[in-house]
Amino acid sequence: MKRFFSFKTIFSIIAALGCIMGFNELFGSTSDQTTALAFAPMLIDPGFLRSALVRYQNENPNSVVSEHTLRTLVKVENGITTFELKLQKGTDVPKSIEQRLGENDAFVGIYAGCFLRKVVSNQFSLSRRSTYPNPAEFATDGADFISSHLNIIYNGFLQFKSGTLTNFDGIPMSEFLYISETQQGITTATTITAADSITAYAIANSSINKHAGYHQLAGMLQLSGRGDNTFEVRLPSESGTSPKIANTNANTDNYLEFELKGLIIKGAAAKYAR
């Protein structure tokens, strides 16, 4: 029997259909400013970002649209059960490594990331972030600060509110947890020496994987700089527990860091305001 299509051709057709389905989802109806959101365990895809960029450039021909990242931090303190992470510029002075949304601009969130960051002597620009409570990075300080207690953050839940409206609720913080497979040979080295293995270095620098700590939103989140755009991390509470999560080592603080990767649309705040 004569074969009309080679296996290579068949696979090409299947791949093309997959791309078409993806573009249909990307360019589908977006009458709601915020679509239903969930998290999907996907890697950061530059192709998807470029496709979204083309779409929003077409929708906003009079605005500059470009790839952008919003970042905000909040200090981790004992006794707090809800941490608020605001994305828009406020009256407070931003940390040197923060990047917030201006009141005249709009933003389209595609990827979200949550991290822990240890900061010494308020030198944010010299700090590094972690994707889990690394005991080499977050050294326990007797009974006052216990690094393993930071796991309570990853047992919490994330929600997003725009004003009084809750857009999504109950996203497990464990979605952002990333721990290297090998748990031996933890090192605090900042450079790799002959005595250090790549695996050991990766454990001490858990965000060496650029995808670690991120997840793709299953819907694109459209924000206006004129809105009150707040992410909240709610920690679990139970009787008899008193987590020691505030860093009490000398001149050292722990921070919870939130990032939203996507597109900024300059001057389009009014268009996307609720």
Q: 97 versus 206: which is more confidently predicted?
A: 97
Here the tokens at position 46 are: 């530059």
pLDDT of residue 183: 47
The pLDDT of 122-141, averaged and rounded, is 93
Here the tokens at position 17 are: 């259909």
Give the count of beta carbons closer than 10 Å to the beta carbon of residue 27.
Answer: 13
Is the dihedral angle over the CA atoms 215, 216, 222, 225 positive or is it negative?
positive
Lowest mean pLDDT: which of 34-48, 137-151, 215-229?
A: 34-48
The pLDDT of 121-137, averaged and rounded, is 93
Which pLDDT band holds residue 208 (cuts at 50, 70, 90)? low
Residues 66-120 have pLDDT tens digits of: 999 999 999 999 999 999 998 888 888 899 999 999 999 999 999 999 999 999 9
Question: Largest Cα–Cα distance in the chain?
Answer: 79
pLDDT at 186 over 90: no
pLDDT of residue 209: 65
Which pLDDT band holds residue 9 (cuts at 50, 70, 90)? low
Residues 133-177 have pLDDT tens digits of: 999 899 999 999 999 999 999 999 998 877 666 767 788 999 999
Radius of gyration of the CA atoms of the chain, in A: 21
239 vs 232: CA distance, rounded Å: 22
Most confident of 172-186, 195-209, 211-225: 211-225
Helix (H, G, I), strand (E, B) or coil at 11: helix
Q: What is the mean pLDDT of the chain?
A: 79
DSSP track, 183-224? -S-----SS--TTS-HHHHHHHTGGGSTTTTEEEEEEEEEEE
The pLDDT of 208-234, averaged and rounded, is 84
How far, CA to CA in Å, does 246 sit from each of 27, 126, 242, 272?
Answer: 45, 20, 11, 38
Which pLDDT band holds residue 19 (cuts at 50, 70, 90)? very low
Helix (H, G, I), strand (E, B) or coil at 110: strand
pLDDT at 181 over 70: no
The pLDDT of 237-242, averaged and rounded, is 86
The pLDDT of 17-41, averaged and rounded, is 39
AA identity, residue 256 = L
